[in-house]
Structure 1
């Protein structure tokens, strides 16, 4: 339960059209006023917050379908940031709940839409988001400062810390992954929910694939099953490998590159 859990909970709805499960679910919780096809952007944030275990942080324990009320609640909590100084100076970041006014104001009362921030461009000109009910679907979007009224910053739970081991001869406290043991896990593991994993450090690799946007968070469970292997194949393709070199089985070069980017060391 953390900012990453929340982001991935929203991302799992990407591609959802309408009418949809989110609308039906919200009606069951909040009554017949929400029957049929209605604007569901903030209901998406509510549903994802509950799934992520961040309902209090994102929604203050309240279901939201009305974006103005949601933004106002962030303001009451002292967690509202109006977009009045530009993207760079605003400090907007991954996990923030971002609100939009299509007329370009930073007024809470004029807010039209909401999403979650997944990142900011290096030049600070664009904000990357996932939004429900954008052109009648849940999708990734790229937004400019002119569209953003402001954002709320949830008080997310901290990321859980993983145990670390010392790499031989380095004094490093970074996690360590054995390529040989990892490959063996990839070649023989299938999803085994509820059973022991064959090589626990597989989870470090899965977490890195999640951070790269190549694996859904729910599959980062230490089991090197088909989803993990598919995610690694996509990583290999991203790194420029093709054919048998992009078969989803880790190699030393790709694994070291991934470890360098995501904080773990690789040994044979």
Structure 2
């Protein structure tokens, strides 16, 4: 039991839509107040904490669906860091429970959402996460300092490994299969709400958002028409033309995007 088992427990839910087993599980534990399609980002963290044996460390022995209460509990335990000095100086790392305020404050009372940190880019511009209930699925995300309110640092049973991509790092970066990605780009429907065919689409979409080629609302894990159009723009930016700029990822363009945005390309 450790930070790695906690992260693995969250990652197994990647691609899950709604309604889902996480919501049903949380409802069984906490009653009818959680009937219906309630927000389940923190329920995802709670379930993973229970499954990984890190419930006391991550949740202090309490189930959480309300992100503000969860962050406040970290603060009461002396395990809270507000994101007021930037990503590098904050020391945020793999295994931290990360909280977001879409309005850009570091106020606990304004928190909207939660996830878990999987790594931090070497230049400290991006934090890579897994989050439940993001665009109605559980998915990998790439976050910037403007979105982060702060983070809680659980006292895991074993210490987490470094999260940055610097020399000596053992961080685990998202792995994107080129062959599976190409298949998704060719077959995924543009319609939202259907199951994600391949979770590796998400880090690519998040990178396209960071490149200002794709609107955040379309970064939903589906390689639909908007995502394919955005990838065409990326290929053109990289100097590809004609059939080489058809919106289907190729090895050269994908590896270049991956090197900049913190994921790895595999076969």
Alignment TM-score > 0.5, same fold = yes
Separation (CA, whole Å) in 2 of partners of 1:149 and 1:212? 23
Decide which structure has the larger Cα Rg and report it: 1
Separation (CA, whole Å) in 2 of partners of 1:132 and 1:212? 18
Q: Is contact 2:46-2:55 (8 Å) kept?
A: yes
Q: CA deviation at 1:16?
A: 0.3
| 1:172 paired residue number | none
| 1:128 paired residue number | 128
| 1:4 paired residue number | 4
Within a 5 Å distance, the mapping from 1:216-255 to structure 2 comes to none
Number of aligned residue pairs: give it.
Answer: 165
Question: Can you list the C-alpha shifts for 1:122-168, whole angstroms capped at 9, x where unaligned?
Answer: 100000000000000000000000000000000000169xxxxxxxx
TM-score, normalised by the number of residues in structure 2: 0.60
The alignment partner of 1:13 has SS state of: coil
The alignment partner of 2:13 has SS state of: coil
| 1:200 paired residue number | none
Question: Is 1:157 matched up with 2:164?
Answer: no
RMSD: 1.6
Separation (CA, whole Å) in 1 of partners of 2:105 and 2:96? 19
| 1:52 paired residue number | 52
| 2:113 paired residue number | 113
Question: Can you list the C-alpha shifts for 1:20-52, whole angstroms capped at 9, x where unaligned?
Answer: 000000000000010111100000000000000
| 1:63 paired residue number | 63
Q: Is contact 2:2-2:157 (8 Å) kept?
A: yes
Separation (CA, whole Å) in 1 of partners of 2:125 and 2:172? 22
Separation (CA, whole Å) in 1 of partners of 2:52 and 2:11? 11
| 1:97 paired residue number | 97
TM-score, normalised by the number of residues in structure 1: 0.60
Separation (CA, whole Å) in 2 of partners of 1:98 and 1:60? 16
Separation (CA, whole Å) in 2 of partners of 1:138 and 1:93? 20
Q: Is contact 2:118-2:172 (8 Å) kept?
A: no
For structure 1, list consecutive stretches of 5 or more residues without a partner in the other structure.
161-209, 215-268
